Amino acid sequence: MTLVDLSFGQLLLCVGFVCIAGVASIVMKLRLEKDLFWGTIRTFAQLYLVGYVLQFVFRINDLRIIVLLYTWMIFWAAQAIRSRVGEKAIPTFVPVFASMVISYMAVLWTVTAVIIRVDPWYAPQYFIPIGGMIIGNSMNAIAIALDRLFGDLRKRRDEVEVMLCLGATREEATATMLGDAIRAGMIPSINSLMTVGLVSLPGMMTGQILAGADPMTSIRYQIVVMLMLTASASLGCVAVGIVIRRLCFTQYHQLRL
């Protein structure tokens, strides 16, 4: 069975789903109509733009350009995390960006070079889409973890300072909070592992099946993706959490927040 092509008019029919959500927002006074409208416009604009860019990118076979493009994608993910967390007392962008580049490159290289064994390992048809999935999934996990970490440090400030006064290090005083933050960031990925195939058919597997690929081949790819996303979310939350926690204290182990 060949893939059924979709016209622009068919895509516009899907806007009806957003209109339903908009009507519900108006009726229930949720004030989400503007966000729904601009979100829909940006979805069309950004995805069409990406489609044209990928047609060019997939013809590139230069490691430097591909890595630079992937780093640019991580840059915008780090910007999104900074704006979502909204913490002004602690500089989060640089440590988040650096941690994401190191951990994501390591995971992505392992997947393309060692597991899938793409030749070359930076082939853009594999490197960019798989890397994008890593960024998108881990970005949400890191944002959740940082939001939880900053929230706990503020709410439990007195507890932390008492432990510091009693001789505890910043690591000892905040071990439970860091663990809770990482756990919060990991929960969505773990839930996906528990329910994949039962509650939903993941996007990559569904896309391959719609394109005519053998279902068993699609399933094997999806297993790689699910485990890869869990690992990248874990590494991202741990690396960013440890670095940001250190920035929350002075060199004398005094809480900055």
Q: What pTM, to 2 d.p., does this model score?
A: 0.79
Judge if 85 and 199 occupy the same domain: yes
Judge if 135 and 149 occupy the same domain: yes
Q: What percent of the chain has pLDDT over 90?
A: 19
Looking at the domain assignment, is residue 254 inside a domain? Answer: no
pLDDT of residue 195: 78
Write down which residue in 57, 83, 102 finishes a domain: 57
pLDDT of residue 209: 67
pLDDT of residue 222: 80
Looking at the domain assignment, is residue 256 inside a domain? Answer: no
Judge if 48 and 140 occupy the same domain: no
**What integer best gives the mean pLDDT of the chain?**
85
pLDDT of residue 71: 93
Looking at the domain assignment, is residue 102 inside a domain? Answer: yes
Query: What letters, b where the CB count within 10 A reaches 16 and e where it falls short, cover 90-103?
Result: bebeebbbebbbeb
Q: Is 145:185 a contact under the CB 8 Å cutoff?
A: yes
Q: What is the mean pLDDT of residues 142-170?
A: 89
Assign 210 a pLDDT band (cuts: 50, 70, 90).
Answer: low
Write down which residue in 31, 57, 83 finishes a domain: 57
User: How far, in Å, CA of 225 to CA of 132, rounded?
Assistant: 11
φ, ψ for residue 224 (rounded to 5)?
Answer: -60, -45
Residue 1 has pLDDT above 60, yes or no: no
User: How many domains are contained in the chain?
Assistant: 2
Judge if 1 and 114 occupy the same domain: no
Q: What is the pLDDT of residues 17-40, one digit of tens each?
A: 889 998 988 998 888 888 888 988
Residue 214 has pLDDT above 60, yes or no: yes
Looking at the domain assignment, is residue 150 inside a domain? Answer: yes
Residue 228 has pLDDT above 80, yes or no: yes
Assign 53 a pLDDT band (cuts: 50, 70, 90).
Answer: confident
- Which position has the higher pLDDT, 10 or 205? 10
Residue 203 has pLDDT above 80, yes or no: no
Judge if 8 and 100 occupy the same domain: no
Judge if 77 and 147 occupy the same domain: yes
Judge if 17 and 144 occupy the same domain: no
Q: What is the mean pLDDT of residues 206-210?
A: 68
Can you give the residue range of the structural domain that contains 161?
62-247
Q: What is the mean pLDDT of residues 62-72?
A: 89
Residue 181 has pLDDT above 80, yes or no: yes
Residue 169 has pLDDT above 70, yes or no: yes
Looking at the domain assignment, is residue 47 inside a domain? Answer: yes
Looking at the domain assignment, is residue 257 inside a domain? Answer: no
Q: Is 105:97 a contact under the CB 8 Å cutoff?
A: no
Q: What is the mean pLDDT of residues 116-131?
A: 88
Residue 213 has pLDDT above 80, yes or no: no
Judge if 139 and 50 occupy the same domain: no
Judge if 93 and 114 occupy the same domain: yes
Judge if 45 and 103 occupy the same domain: no
Tokens of 200: 């939903």
Q: What is the mean pLDDT of residues 145-154?
A: 91
pLDDT of residue 200: 63
